[in-house]
Amino acid sequence: MMNLHQPVILTDKIPIGISLCCMGGPVRYNAKGFDMLANLGREKLDFVWCPVCPECMAGMGIPRDPVHLSNGTGDDVWEGKAEVKDRHGRLVTQKMIEGCKACMEALKRCNARVFVYMDGSPSCGVYRTTLKSTIRGNPPGTFGSLLLKEGYFLIPASDLQSPLKWWDWRRRMLAFLWLSDLPITSMQELYDVWYRLKFLCQELDNSWAREMGRTLAALQKTDFSAFEPKFRAEVLELLRRPSTTAKMTNSLWKHYSHYRKSRGKSVEEINSPDFRRGVTKIAEELLKMERTAVEDEYLFGASPVIYRDQRRLKPKIGAGDELEMET
């Protein structure tokens, strides 16, 4: 068991599904696409991308008439209560259902449990199915509905354009995948998981985290089997919820202050919450604290699960299975 006071380091590349038009594929109805991964730079290579386009897999071709949901949401389409129609009113419901199923099969073959979706699409949209300014349409879209039912960790592609929002999604996604896969077989292991994740949970929802802390303190060993699934489900649900700039800035300062005090070291250019700066600068500071924490084997509670390419890690001589960063 690794030291609880260190971050968890994942070394397997994470497969992520993505709406193909968000990866630059010219597959929209008008033969256009957007490269929404451009801002990730080299970090893009830390993941295995699995692009899919339900409308293309429906066999609708490019260019094509735009489609829309008629008489209900994407959920209703799957229940046979609503239809998908093109601009001329032609029914394409059955084709869309087949296209969505084919895309889901591809995501499963790729082992993707995360999906970056194009919001505002009647197919891939999750919270909007139209791009018209204040109108949400009939969410979710047909494929968005399937992604929700399958429990995907869903990231809106537009949030990849902000370094701070992406930082927030990435750390929650890594914690989500780690916890999803982790076998928890005893109360002690459950307490250890909580120790690792509680700081992030406190940042996301302090009242919920305090209540969970009180519940855990009152539990008996015999409560483990009944409580573990509830604990896991609630933490996973919380990890889907975005944080805010103010919360992330406060959290950075709180953890950095603790790091300075406990390790007697400082990190240049990490600022207090009162210091006014833009979101790009805040994201840089968070990344710096994250890197420092990994190099110094310190648990930065705001980002407790980290991905590092195996090639950037080398075995620490004589230290069992622990890993050390290459300098």
Pairing assessment for the beta strands 323-325 and 67-70 based on DSSP bridges: unpaired
- Hey, what are 273's tokens? 């919450």
Euclidean distance between CA atoms 164 and 322, whole angstroms: 30
Q: With contact defined as beta carbons under 8 Å apart, do 71 and 83 qualify? A: yes
Q: Which amino acid would we find at residue 149?
A: K
By C-beta, is 145 or 251 nearer to ligand SF4? 145
Euclidean distance between CA atoms 292 and 325, whole angstroms: 10
By C-beta, is 37 or 190 nearer to ligand SF4? 37
The minimum distance between CB 161 and ligand SF4, in angstroms, equals 16
The minimum distance between CB 88 and ligand SF4, in angstroms, equals 18
The minimum distance between CB 172 and ligand SF4, in angstroms, equals 23
By C-beta, is 33 or 304 nearer to ligand SF4? 33
By C-beta, is 30 or 180 nearer to ligand SF4? 30
- Return residues touching ligand SF4 (CB under 6 A): 19-21, 27-28, 53-56, 118, 121, 123-124
What is the residue-wise DSSP string for 144-159? HHHHHHTT-EEEEGGG
Start-end of H helices in 131-278: 142-149, 163-181, 187-204, 206-218, 224-239, 245-263
* Helices and strands, counts by H and E, the chain: 10, 10
Report in angstroms the alpha-carbon separations of 262 from 267, 296, 302: 13, 12, 17
The minimum distance between CB 99 and ligand SF4, in angstroms, equals 8
The minimum distance between CB 95 and ligand SF4, in angstroms, equals 12
By C-beta, is 56 or 293 nearer to ligand SF4? 56
Euclidean distance between CA atoms 85 and 58, whole angstroms: 13
By C-beta, is 124 or 283 nearer to ligand SF4? 124
Backbone angles phi, psi at 300, to 5 degrees: -85, 100
The minimum distance between CB 33 and ligand SF4, in angstroms, equals 7
